[in-house]
Chain A
Amino acid sequence: MSEDLAWIDAALTSARPQAVGALLRYFRDLDTAEEAFQEACLRALRTWPQKGPPRDPAAWLIMVGRNAALDHVRKTARQTELPPEDVISDVDDVETPMAERLDGAHYRDDILRLMFICCHPELPATQQIALALRIVSGLSVRQIARAFLVSEAAMEQRITRAKARIARAEVTFEAPGPAERAERLAAVAAMVYLVFNEGYTAGAEAPDARAGLAGEAIRLARLLLRLFQTEPEIMGLTALVMLQQARAAARFDPEGAAILLEDQDRGLWDRKLISEGLALIDKALRHRRPGPYQVQAAIAALHDRAQSFEDTDWVQIEALYATLEVMTPSPVVTLNRAVAASKARGPAAALELIETLAEPLAGYFYFHGARGAFLLQLGLSAEAREAFDRAIALANTAAEAAHIRGQIDRLTADAAAKAS
């Protein structure tokens, strides 16, 4: 792609959420909105290289897309039933200046609505993610299929089904009230974090697609933050995804095996992303309205700030996990707290914290791995070995199993050393 076209491509991508969001408000139909945007993009590729990009690419795309779709509707009026005039809002204002027509106050709700329709509660998480990547981010079905390691046809079908589901859902096109807006924002924030985790936890398979998803989540989080500049939880979410993604380059070895936080080369961490994330936490804290994203971001920040694993402020991290336990109680949060507690206060305190987790986390690899490590630190070799064996049986990847096997080898070696 020539440099010119690359610039246009970037401009089209960044204008997409606002443009498709506005077109969805005009036409109240996702397929029509997407087709209108597609048509506008084709015309942009034809005219922008000669005339240069317009001052406001999103406004240009909305105008051109809307006119193209209206032409299409008029031409096919005999075959297709026209939507009632009052549904296609402001059709008659062709003469009003562009700036007025693109009511600035609308666009925030347009983008939020576009993101919100992807978060339909009946859609499973993977479909929400696929839909958001297709509709909001504009990734091709092939790109999304590659990220999910499924065939293009399977992904196409999945997205079509998800679209059919949301077409039946009731989404209001009036500007939402404050309570509804807050609800939508929370759902959308959760969806953005899902996109991030899909990319972040995908392991070493499809590394490019993985990095793409995490990067896309950061872009979506920044977009949300630009729309809701004073929301501390959106600052927290954006900081959280940045502070985690900052470690991406150090998380896998060249063979694709996961590298634990304690063994990572901190020189590979992205200082630019870290400083941006830290700045956002700073801003969020001033509001004194803590929430789960802010607390998780603060935990990630403490890891990122530590010069070495030994320098990590485990006392603070345990305190933050204790706060998170109150905000969003879950066995996994308690387990994470216990890991921090083992560093801050020792293995006995950690074991006490996870006493009640044996049942809810019976099938969870990390629980048995962490428990084994605590027992090992206490010198309870036989119990430790039992926990490690269970962990290996539950390992999701070869790297996880190898890590546990390493600890068992140490146990065996210690036992042999004692015996001799």
Chain B
Amino acid sequence: MLYALLCYNSEEVVFSWSKAHDDAVMAKLNLVHEKLAAQNKLGPSLRLVPTTAATTLRKTSEPPLVIDGPFAETKEQLLGFYVIDCEDLEGALGVARELAVANPGGAYEIRPVHFFQPGTLPQGTVAG
């Protein structure tokens, strides 16, 4: 079974950490990452830029609505995520719009990523 771990914390607190503190936390985490990677248990992991940099594509209307800020509704739940590589926000919105045509309803929150590691899970590892 594959699991996604979704990381929550106060971004106001985390993003006011000093570089030294941030580095120390990352160093501690990296020890765990390395152990998991050696056991082939680690898939992609990433750190997101704060929600102030987020944009949301609401795909309940046609055409979808672009809203500044993170996804804030509580009626819908996080069901999955993509990692995409685009030139800029317009590019990312283009991809989101294309996906929205295929799967309307709900929303996509677009969050820039500032740390990404692909992990060591072999391709084709499936759920279940």
Encode contact with A along B86-102: 1 for CB under 8 Å, 0 otherwise.
00111000000000000
* B76 within 8 A of partner (CB): no
Which residue of chain B lies nearest to A285 when distances are taken between CB atoms in the complex?
A: B89
- The answer on a CB contact under 8 Å between A14 and B12 is yes
Nearest 4 Cβ contacts at the A-B interface: A282-B89, A229-B69, A279-B53, A279-B112
Q: Are A222 and B89 in contact (CB under 8 A)?
A: no
Q: Are B53 and A283 in contact (CB-based, < 8 A)?
A: yes
Interface residues of A (CB under 8 A from B): 7, 10-11, 13-14, 215, 219, 222-223, 225-226, 229-230, 238, 271-272, 275-276, 279-280, 282-283, 286
Q: Are B66 and A276 in contact (CB under 8 A)?
A: no
> Per DSSP, are chain A's interface residues mostly helix, strand or loop, or mixed?
helix
> Is residue B13 within 8 Å, beta carbon to beta carbon, of the partner chain?
yes
Besides the contacts A11-B13, A276-B50, what 13 more A-B pairs have beta carbons closer than 8 Å? A7-B13, A14-B12, A219-B12, A230-B68, A230-B69, A275-B112, A275-B114, A276-B112, A279-B53, A282-B89, A282-B90, A283-B55, A286-B90
Residues on the A chain within 8 Å of B12, using CB: 14, 219, 222-223
Q: Mark B5-16, 1 if CB is under 8 A from A, else 0.
A: 000001011011
Q: Is B52 an interface residue (CB 8 A)?
A: yes
A-B contact pairs, 25 of them (CB 8 A): A7-B13, A10-B13, A10-B16, A13-B16, A14-B10, A14-B12, A14-B16, A219-B16, A222-B52, A226-B51, A229-B68, A229-B69, A230-B68, A272-B114, A275-B49, A275-B112, A275-B114, A276-B49, A276-B53, A280-B52, A282-B89, A283-B53, A283-B68, A283-B89, A286-B66
A279 to B87, CA, bound (A): 11
| Chain B 40-73 interface mask (CB, 8 Å, partner A; 1/0) | 0000000001111101000000000010110000
**How far is B93's CA from A283's CA once the two chains are assembled, in angstroms?**
11
Closest to B51 in A: A226
Q: Separation in Å of the A225 CB from the closest CB of chain B?
A: 5
* A276 to B69 alpha-carbon distance, docked (Å): 14
Residues of B within 8 A of A11 (CB): 10, 13
In the bound assembly, the distance between CA atoms of A89 and B72 in angstroms comes to: 30
> Chain B residues with Cβ under 8 A from A275's Cβ?
49, 112, 114
CB of B54, distance to nearest CB on chain A (Å)? 9
Contact B16 A279 (CB under 8 A): no
* Nearest Cβ on chain B to A226's Cβ, whole angstroms: 6
How close is A17's CB to chain B, nearest CB, in angstroms?
A: 10
Question: Could you tell me if A279 and B89 are in contact, using CB atoms closer than 8 angstroms?
Answer: yes
List the interface of chain B (C-beta within 8 A of A).
10, 12-13, 15-16, 49-53, 55, 66, 68-69, 88-90, 112, 114-115
Chain B residues in 8 Å Cβ range of A282: 88-90
A116 to B52 Cα, complex, angstroms: 22
Partner of A238, one of B13, B52, B55, B112: B52
Query: Do A286 and B112 touch (CB < 8 A)?
Result: no
- Residues in A with CB closer than 8 Å to B68 are 229-230, 283
**Alpha-carbon distance between A222 and B15 when the two chains are bound, in angstroms:** 10
Q: Nearest Cβ in chain B — how far from A62, in angstroms?
A: 17
Say yes or no: A222 contacts B66, CB within 8 Å: no
Distance of A390 from chain B, by nearest CB (Å) = 40
CA distance A286 to B57 in the complex (A): 13
A225 and B52 form a contact (CB under 8 A): yes
Cα distance, A272 to B69, chains bound together (Å):
19
Minimum C-beta distance from A51 to chain B (A): 18
* Residues of chain B lying within 8 A (CB to CB) of residue A230: 68-69
- Other-chain contact of A14, B13, B49, B115 (Cβ < 8 Å): B13
Q: What residues of B have a CB within 8 angstroms of the CB of A225 in the complex?
A: 52
B28 CB to nearest chain A CB (Å):
12
Residue of B with least CB distance to A276? B49
Query: Which residues of chain A have C-beta atoms less than 8 A from B89's C-beta?
Result: 279, 282-283, 286
Please name all residues of chain B whose beta carbon is closer than 8 Å to the beta carbon of A271 when the two chains form the complex.
114
A413 to B50, CA, bound (A): 52
CB-based nearest B residue for A274:
B114
Q: How far is the CA of A222 from the CA of B13 in the complex (A)?
A: 12
B66 and chain A: residue at smallest CB distance: A286
Complex CA gap A414/B121 in Å reads 62
Residues of B contacting A272 with CB < 8 Å?
114-115
Give Cα A11 to B17, complex, Å: 12
A286 partner residues in chain B, CB cutoff 8 A: 66, 89-90
Chain A residues contacting B15 (CB-CB under 8 Å) are 222
Taken together as a complex, chains A and B put the C-alpha atoms of A276 and B50 apart, in Å, by 8
Bound complex: CA A276 to CA B51 (Å): 10
Inter-chain contacts of A10 with B (CB < 8 A): 13, 16
Q: How far is the CA of A226 from the CA of B10 in the complex (A)?
A: 13
Question: Complex formed: what's the CA distance from A310 to B51 in Å?
Answer: 34
Residue among B16, B53, B114 with max Cβ neighbours from chain A (10 Å): B53
